[in-house]
Amino acid sequence: MADNNNNENTFIDNSDNLFFEDIEGEEGKKLVLEESQQLSLVGLIQNRFSDAETARISHEHRWLKAYRNYRGLYDKNIKFRESEKSKVFVKITKTKVLASFGQLVDVIFGTGKFPIGVRETKIPEGASEYAHLDTQNPTPGIETSVPEQEEEEVENPFDVGYEGDGKNLKAGATFSNGKFILEEEAKEILTDGTSPLPQEIEIKPAQLASRRMEKLIHDQIEESKGSSEIRNALLESALLGTGVVKGPFNFNKTLSRWKEGEDGERTYNPIDVRVPRIEFVSVWDFFPDPAATNIEECEYVFHRHKLNKSQLRALRKMPYFDNDAIRECLMMGSNYEDRYYDSQLRDDENDKAYGAEKYEVLEYWGIMDAEYLREATIDVPDSIDDLDEVQINA
């Protein structure tokens, strides 16, 4: 612990026993943890976040310059004489950024659908390359002829009757050989390999499976507004040079559903389903490992969230969150402090309420030593050795 009377460093104590060192300039205050706090998981994560935040200051200045050129704003260091009011500012940067953004959107979304495709491999594994309907050797259990009509009239297979007669078609049912069969039963009729006869039906099971998978992925991404998230990342990539997309990750979604009871009354019966979602992350809230040169080399990354009270309360519905800790955070009040670049990113520089009632939540993705996690009272499976590294999300 440094002496507070030292003129070189000034430490400010707070109620959490964390100490901040004043740094001259726009960088603000740097977190300095005690040795005992560095041994804790929270202290280690905060220390890594402090390193990542400090290491990207040079990039932040470059981003601010690009943002001001895009908006047509003067640099804050530019001063005018009393006889001067303004200078001509030609928005060349905005024209170039919007042009490059339009070209990226045309290339990625030129087909009219999300840029993800699923195709089968040349030699599929776990499925036959070809399958056909063998008409020469009928499958046992499937009738190939209709019995002769005697006294009773042959039942019309297309006659589904009325509601409640027990003849409703099941999902996936198809008509084959005079009978309605399910899709699973139809798969059993097919024979692996190519057909020796040209008139027989021949399909590629792996191709059909990949098409169904692609259709499912596009439906899920469309439900989560994935195209809009990708467009936001493309705009920031053209403006600042980097665009970040996070995911896909699972999240719980409530589907509205009404169910009709036996008495004929309809009741609201929603269901919760788990669906994937991709998310746009602004570079201003993305803090990677400063020692890495690409995302594959990052030992950890941070996603900083600025949440209001409602968003912080919503974390209680997510798994692995502590309700008591969230309640305590709400009672403590907001903790987000403006960075030096926040005022320059705001449209109204006189707006001082940007960080009011905002909670800073750090989302950590990275590796930790298994032995360290066990000392930090984190449950680690016994099959993992102490010398192994474990991927964690905190």
Please name which of 390, 249, 394, 373 lies closest in space to residue 325, comparing C-alpha atoms.
Answer: 394
Inside any domain, residue 358: yes
Residue 140 has pLDDT above 60, yes or no: no
Res. 236 pLDDT band, cuts 50 70 90: very high
Inside any domain, residue 171: no
What pLDDT, on a 0 to 100 scale, did the predictor assign at position 12? 42
Q: Which residue is listed with tokens 């006889």? A: 83
329-359: pLDDT as tens digits: 999 988 898 888 888 887 655 555 554 689 9
What pLDDT, on a 0 to 100 scale, did the predictor assign at position 365? 95
Average pLDDT over residues 357-380: 87
Residue pair 75/344 in contact by the 8 Å Cβ criterion = no
User: What is residue 349's DSSP assignment?
Assistant: T
**How far apart (Å, rounded) are the C-alpha atoms in residues 98 and 357?**
34
Cα–Cα distances in Å, from 17 out to 3, 233, 362? 15, 39, 19
What pLDDT, on a 0 to 100 scale, did the predictor assign at position 66? 92
Res. 174 pLDDT band, cuts 50 70 90: low
Of 253, 269, 289, the last residue of a domain is 289
DSSP state string for 272-300:
EEEEEEEEEE-GGGEEE-TT-SSGGG-SE
For residue 123 the two structure tokens come to 């030699």
Q: Do 321 and 391 lie in a common domain?
A: yes
pLDDT averaged over every residue in the chain: 77
Inside any domain, residue 59: no
Please name which of 160, 154, 277, 177 lies closest in space to residue 227, comparing C-alpha atoms.
Answer: 277
Inside any domain, residue 224: yes
DSSP state string for 70-91:
HHT---TT----TT--------
Res. 274 pLDDT band, cuts 50 70 90: confident
Look at strands 266-268 and 258-260 and give their pairing. Answer: antiparallel
Residue pair 74/89 in contact by the 8 Å Cβ criterion = yes
What pLDDT, on a 0 to 100 scale, did the predictor assign at position 147? 47
**How far apart (Å, rounded) are the C-alpha atoms in residues 301 and 287?**
6
Which one of 26-30, 76-80, 322-326 scores highest in mean pLDDT?
Answer: 322-326
Q: Do 364 and 385 lie in a common domain?
A: yes
Residue 287 has pLDDT above 80, yes or no: yes
Residue pair 202/194 in contact by the 8 Å Cβ criterion = yes
Average pLDDT over residues 209-217: 89
375-390: pLDDT as tens digits: 777 888 889 998 899 9
First to last CA, the chain: 28
What pLDDT, on a 0 to 100 scale, did the predictor assign at position 289? 95
Q: Do 267 and 353 lie in a common domain?
A: no
What pLDDT, on a 0 to 100 scale, did the predictor assign at position 238? 95
Res. 110 pLDDT band, cuts 50 70 90: confident
Res. 246 pLDDT band, cuts 50 70 90: very high
Q: Do 271 and 215 lie in a common domain?
A: yes
Q: Do 356 and 388 lie in a common domain?
A: yes
What pLDDT, on a 0 to 100 scale, did the predictor assign at position 248? 87
Q: Do 334 and 394 lie in a common domain?
A: yes
C-alpha 35, offset from chain centre: 35
Of 289, 314, 333, the last residue of a domain is 289
For residue 339 the two structure tokens come to 């960075």
Inside any domain, residue 321: yes
Q: Do 314 and 267 lie in a common domain?
A: no
Q: Do 270 and 301 lie in a common domain?
A: no
Domain count, the chain: 2
Higher pLDDT among residues 83 and 154, named by residue: 83
Q: Do 283 and 320 lie in a common domain?
A: no
Average pLDDT over residues 282-305: 93
Cα–Cα distances in Å, from 159 out to 152, 162, 362? 16, 9, 62
Inside any domain, residue 41: no
Residue 25 has pLDDT above 50, yes or no: no
For residue 361 the two structure tokens come to 């939540």
For residue 22 the two structure tokens come to 């004043």
**How far apart (Å, rounded) are the C-alpha atoms in residues 351 and 377?**
44
Range of the structural domain that residue 313 is part of: 290-394
Inside any domain, residue 190: no
Of 267, 289, 311, the last residue of a domain is 289
Q: Is it true that the peptide bond before 248 is cis, omega within 30 degrees of 0?
A: yes
The pTM is what?
A: 0.69
Q: Do 366 and 385 lie in a common domain?
A: yes
Return the sign of the alpha-carbon dihedral for residues 95, 98, 72, 341. negative
Residue 269 has pLDDT above 60, yes or no: yes
Higher pLDDT among residues 202 and 354, named by residue: 202
Q: Do 268 and 331 lie in a common domain?
A: no
Res. 2 pLDDT band, cuts 50 70 90: very low
Inside any domain, residue 31: no
Res. 252 pLDDT band, cuts 50 70 90: confident
Residue 235 has pLDDT above 60, yes or no: yes
Q: Do 295 and 392 lie in a common domain?
A: yes
